[in-house]
Amino acid sequence: MNDTQTSPAVMLIVTQDTKEEEARFARHALEAAGVRVVHLDPSVRRSVGGAEISPEDVAAAAGMTIEDVRALGHEGKCQDAMIRGALSAALAWQAKDPVRGVLAIGGSMGSALAGAVMQNLPYGLPKLIVSTMASGFTKPYMGVKDIAMMNAVTDIAGINSISRDVLTNAANAVAGMAKGYNPSAASEKPLVLITTLGTTETGVKRIRQALEGDGCEVMVFHSSGAGGPTLDGLATDKDVALVLDLSLTEIIDHIHGGLADTGPDRGMAALRKGIPTIFAPGNADFIISGPLPVAQQQFPGRRYHEHNPQLTAVRTNLDDMKKLADHLAVMVREAKGPVQVFTPLHGFSNHDSPHGHIEDRSVPGPFAEYLRSVIPTDVPVTAIDAHFNDEAFSDAVTAAARAYLRI
Both 211 and 176 in one domain: the answer is: no
Residue 171 domain flag: yes
336-394 pLDDT, tens digit each = 999 999 999 999 999 999 999 999 999 999 999 999 999 999 999 999 999 999 999 99
pLDDT interval class at 183 (50, 70, 90): confident
Residue 187 has pLDDT above 90, yes or no: no
pTM of the model: 0.80
Residue 306 domain flag: yes
C-alpha to C-alpha distance for 164 and 155, rounded to whole angstroms: 12
C-alpha to C-alpha distance for 313 and 249, rounded to whole angstroms: 11
Residue 186 has pLDDT above 80, yes or no: no
What pLDDT is recorded for position 2? 43
Both 388 and 244 in one domain: the answer is: yes
Residue 186 domain flag: no
- Average pLDDT estimate for 60-85: 95
**Domain count along the chain:** 2
Domain boundary among 130, 158, 180: 180
Both 157 and 204 in one domain: the answer is: no
Residue 1 has pLDDT above 50, yes or no: no
Domain boundary among 121, 153, 180: 180
What pLDDT is recorded for position 145? 83
C-alpha to C-alpha distance for 236 and 136, rounded to whole angstroms: 28
Domain residues for 36?
3-180
Contact 150, 134 (CB under 8 A): yes
Residue 81 has pLDDT above 50, yes or no: yes
Both 168 and 220 in one domain: the answer is: no
Both 290 and 341 in one domain: the answer is: yes
Mean pLDDT of the chain: 94
Q: To the nearest whole percent, how much of the chain has pLDDT over 90?
A: 88
Both 172 and 206 in one domain: the answer is: no
What pLDDT is recorded for position 5? 57
Both 102 and 226 in one domain: the answer is: no
Residue 240 domain flag: yes
Both 34 and 107 in one domain: the answer is: yes
Residue 74 domain flag: yes
C-alpha to C-alpha distance for 31 and 8, rounded to whole angstroms: 10
Residue 247 has pLDDT above 90, yes or no: yes
Residue 3 has pLDDT above 60, yes or no: no
- What are the distances in angstroms from CA 368 to CA 79, 323, 349? 50, 13, 16
The order of strands in the sheet holding 127-131 is 36-40, 9-13, 101-106, 127-131, 148-151
143-157 pLDDT, tens digit each = 778 899 999 998 888
C-alpha to C-alpha distance for 197 and 309, rounded to whole angstroms: 18
Residue 85 domain flag: yes
- Average pLDDT estimate for 255-277: 97
Both 202 and 120 in one domain: the answer is: no
89-126 pLDDT, tens digit each = 999 999 999 999 999 999 989 999 999 999 999 889 99
Q: Tell me, what CATH number does 32's domain have?
A: 3.40.50.12020
Quickly count: other Cβ atoms within 10 Å of residue 96's Cβ.
6
Both 152 and 204 in one domain: the answer is: no
Both 203 and 169 in one domain: the answer is: no
Residue 366 domain flag: yes
What pLDDT is recorded for position 138? 74
Contact 203, 388 (CB under 8 A): yes
Residue 185 domain flag: no
pLDDT interval class at 244 (50, 70, 90): very high
- What are the distances in angstroms from CA 266 to CA 107, 116, 137, 233, 368? 30, 21, 20, 10, 22
What pLDDT is recorded for position 180? 94
C-alpha to C-alpha distance for 117 and 131, rounded to whole angstroms: 15
Residue 407 has pLDDT above 80, yes or no: no
Both 22 and 115 in one domain: the answer is: yes
Q: To the nearest whole percent, how much of the chain has pLDDT over 70?
A: 98
Q: Tell me, what CATH number does 289's domain have?
A: 3.40.50.12030
Residue 267 has pLDDT above 60, yes or no: yes
